[in-house]
Structure 1
Amino acid sequence: MKIPILPSWRNSFGFLHYANVSVGTPTLSFLVALDTGSDLFWLPCDCMAGSCVTALQTSSSIIDLSIYSPSNSSTSKNVSCDSTLCRQTQCPSANSNCPYNVSYLSSNTSSTGIFVEDILHLITDDDQQKAVDTPITFGCGQNQTGIFLEGAAPNGLFGLGIEDISVPSTLARNGLASNSFALCFGRDGVGRISFGNNGSSDQRETPFNIRQSHPTYNISITQITVGQNSSELEFSAIFDSGTSFTSLRDPAYTFISESFNSQIQEKRHTSDPQMPFEYCYYLSANQTSYVIPDVNLTMKGEDRYFLNDPTVIVSTEDGAVLYCLGLHKSDVNIDIIGQNFMTGYRIVFDRERMVLGWKDSNCYNDQTSNNLPISPSQPPVVSPAHPVDP
């Protein structure tokens, strides 16, 4: 597979995909990270000192970020402890505000606050593009820690997971969309999110393998092929758009990495603990492309998932330009297919049929996409948003 060398993004959004969403009355817009690996939708809200990001510095300007406050929205309602959506056991009384505290896999990363209800403003994806308003319960994030203060999801997290509190669960429960949605990740970094999208008859599919405890979009992989090398490896992995780069345990990590390395022509960069990836290769000053082996995952059901671009361009402190295999060795007991392995596909999370679907797409002529654009950015290289088991 020949990979062209494209300009990299230089703003600090943690190499995730984002959408502008509008909440409240009057409406405020928030640039939220799209996360299929967690359920809670939260926004920075009535923040304690130093616990929210209020602005981002880019190379040319400062971007001010909205901070939500229930008292400033006429449609805001607090969620009490006796609500069916409040599952906390630490409530002082039934009428108290329902608290939440979610910790994520990234070190010392969490969001803490109270649940509130307000209006989420969406737009239909038909020719009329009508406004659709729906009440939604989300987290008023009064205190964020870890990488949420360092560039990843600085303005909120859009929980797209399976459980009742998530955004797609709410839209389906309110009768606004079928219980399915699609994320499209264009190769140029632009994409689409579409609620109620059930995919197409010609997409490839694999069934979800849902755990009873803390259910996620878990699928089963039965074989890995890297160029001329193939291995019958069976394991489960979570499709998680809230994790920047794919993270696998052995033996899958070693098989992919060593098979990839054995078929590369460029000189390998010396392993450096400061580098986010283990397998990186030098690019010459005038090089416009590089050749890598095809990487395929065979899913349960025998459909193949071809990785459109498993590499990432990285610059070193001494000015060298490298391309790296965008794969981490998992240091926790979980395998994650991160956002970088979703590039070039419309990924359908069909929660009615309980299948994951995928189809090649550039996200521009996708007939079923709506008006919520999403785009990635880099560096820093982080993997933030899969929550730990409660």
Structure 2
Amino acid sequence: MVGGGGGVVVVRAVLLLLAAVAAAEALSLDVHHRYSAAVRRWAAAAAPPHGTAEYYAALAGHDGLRRRSLGVGGGGGGAEFAFADGNDTYRLNDFGFLHYAVVALGTPNVTFLVALDTGSDLFWVPCDCLKCAPLQSPNYGSLKFDVYSPAQSTTSRKVPCSSNLCDLQNACRSKSNSCPYSIQYLSDNTSSSGVLVEDVLYLTSDSAQSKIVTAPIMFGCGQVQTGSFLGSAAPNGLLGLGMDSKSVPSLLASKGLAANSFSMCFGDDGHGRINFGDTGSSDQKETPLNVYKQNPYYNITITGITVGSKSISTEFSAIVDSGTSFTALSDPMYTQITSSFDAQIRSSRNMLDSSMPFEFCYSVSANGIVHPNVSLTAKGGSIFPVNDPIITITDNAFNPVGYCLAIMKSEGVNLIGENFMSGLKVVFDRERMVLGWKNFNCYNFDESSRLPVNPSPSAVPPKPGLGPSSYTPEAAKGALPNGTQVNVMPSASSPLQPQSVFAAIVLLFLIVL
């Protein structure tokens, strides 16, 4: 509900109508690497200079935690949506290895900067806190966070223990009680617990005439957090993108808002997007998703590797993980691909820096950086191109001093990380159970139509420019209070200012980590 008094009924009817009309549109948002040029200007906290050994060591350090965590256990069409508070996600250096997006919940709305994780399912935010991360901290730079309270939202409802989405019914005194939740994550003694609630999540349709849509969504009222959630990762909530029925993509699909599919685009410069309801296109390559009940990740089978002139026949399964910076392989695959790469390099091998996490690094020769191409062959024969298998090491003046094959050695788990997805749009099609991909320019998404929702400029980074040459985000100005109401949609004559407000391109990628 937006507004008050006699206008409430009218606005409610309008919102219901918009929700019905938008049932076939998709959600999208920008994705940024935590050390990208744009994000480095957003966050006041210092980050290692891009391209330096410290930069890559920091990324790899987070990946190590990720591998240990994931190693345990095991034609387009339709509607697309994005979050109403903006279609951007942010890869923030001080908050671990995760991507973040701004979401608006409740009536009046409250904004949150939530981590996005394909490796977990439940969406939760800090709520009526008994033990949560601080709302502001020197570690956050200029960011200031908010908390959710069911009592402060007129559209909030409890999820009873009788709900089929309640996993802890045995902990309930009666079926009418609020359903509790408790999730123990697989690293750093990290957990979140509280009760399940339902409220409206504000989305916008990604269409020629964008519309604000309110989607009833279930999420966790996170009263107690432990471990990394108290500061270094997801201090303001987490949104899971996994396959379980409780994940945001699953909930949106079950309500008929979008197809049970989403895509993520990984730009060469760290910029990206995510679209909920995106089922891909006829020109994409595909491979089946492996379904393991005890290991429900986005897992595919690789049947071959090509490194320059060398073809390697092999077969192994790998998790496609947007939450990992660098690809990690276990033996024998790691040795096969790295030794083949090394045999075709003419430059001299050079460790470059003891903090570097990569074994195969080289000095820059007189001919510059020349290396063999790398590609993967997926089950079914489709080629998964690795557009940029190396990282270039620079000094503090950004002069290249060397380069490394950006693959890390793993134990027992294989991860196709973000660096192997650079330059690709990757489709996680959970209806057809396939992974799709194609080379794509993430800036091709249309951002011409935006609808403003009142954000809290003190709580989120400002929006980036619209292309690689225009990364000049403005600093957040003013201080709209948190919890302000959703604005009435502007008229056609009302100019939108995407640089000064967090507009909406419903990023239906609700891929709750």
Q: TM-score, normalised by structure 2?
A: 0.63
Note the alpha carbon deviations across 1:77-110, whole angstroms, 9 max, x for none.
Answer: 2222221101125413233332223233333333
Deviation of 1:129 after TM superposition, in Å, equals: 0.8
Distance 2:137 2:394 in 1: 22
- The equivalent of 2:383 in structure 1 is 304
- The equivalent of 1:154 in structure 2 is 235
Note the 1:87-126 alignment, pairs <5 A.
Answer: 87-88=167-168, 90-93=170-173, 94-126=175-207
Contact map agreement 2:352 2:402 (CA 8 A) in 1: no
Deviation of 1:270 after TM superposition, in Å, equals: 6.4
Distance 2:428 2:371 in 1: 29
Distance 2:240 2:367 in 1: 38
Contact map agreement 2:238 2:512 (CA 8 A) in 1: no
Deviation of 1:142 after TM superposition, in Å, equals: 2.7
- The equivalent of 1:344 in structure 2 is 423
The equivalent position to 1:63 in structure 2, one of 128, 143, 146, is: 143
Note the alpha carbon deviations across 1:298-354, whole angstroms, 9 max, x for none.
Answer: 00110111112233456899x9976443333333x4322222322211111112211
- The equivalent of 2:276 in structure 1 is 195
Note the 1:39-54 alignment, pairs <5 A.
Answer: 39-49=121-131, 51-54=132-135
Paired letter, 2:150: P
Worse-matched range after superposition: 14-23 or 179-188: 14-23
- The equivalent of 1:361 in structure 2 is 440
Distance 1:29 1:325 in 2: 40
Contact map agreement 2:120 2:242 (CA 8 A) in 1: yes
Contact map agreement 2:117 2:239 (CA 8 A) in 1: yes
Worse-matched range after superposition: 201-210 or 105-114: 105-114
1:167 maps onto 2:248 in alignment: yes
Contact map agreement 2:172 2:179 (CA 8 A) in 1: no
Distance 2:318 2:338 in 1: 17
Note the alpha carbon deviations across 1:231-272, whole angstroms, 9 max, x for none.
Answer: 211111122223333232211122223333344425421684
Deviation of 1:24 after TM superposition, in Å, equals: 1.5
Paired letter, 1:168: P
1:176 maps onto 2:281 in alignment: no
1:259 maps onto 2:340 in alignment: yes
Contact map agreement 1:37 1:238 (CA 8 A) in 2: no
Worse-matched range after superposition: 69-78 or 115-124: 69-78
The equivalent position to 1:130 in structure 2, one of 206, 211, 214, is: 211
Deviation of 1:121 after TM superposition, in Å, equals: 0.6
1:35 maps onto 2:117 in alignment: yes
Which secondary structure state, in structure 2, belongs to the residue aligned with residue 62 of structure 1?
Answer: coil
- The equivalent of 1:14 in structure 2 is 96
Contact map agreement 2:101 2:113 (CA 8 A) in 1: yes
- Two-structure CA RMSD over aligned residues (Å): 3.5
Which secondary structure state, in structure 1, belongs to the residue aligned with residue 116 of structure 2?
Answer: strand
Contact map agreement 2:162 2:169 (CA 8 A) in 1: no
Contact map agreement 2:209 2:449 (CA 8 A) in 1: no
Whose Rg is larger?
A: 2
Deviation of 1:204 after TM superposition, in Å, equals: 0.5
Paired letter, 2:198: E
Contact map agreement 1:219 1:238 (CA 8 A) in 2: yes
User: What percentage of aligned pairs have identical amino acids?
Assistant: 52
- The equivalent of 2:161 in structure 1 is 81
Which secondary structure state, in structure 1, belongs to the residue aligned with residue 369 of structure 2?
Answer: strand
Paired letter, 1:229: K
Contact map agreement 2:121 2:243 (CA 8 A) in 1: yes
- The equivalent of 1:378 in structure 2 is none
- The equivalent of 2:409 in structure 1 is 329
The equivalent position to 1:216 in structure 2, one of 297, 307, 318, is: 297
Which secondary structure state, in structure 2, belongs to the residue aligned with residue 235 of structure 1?
Answer: strand
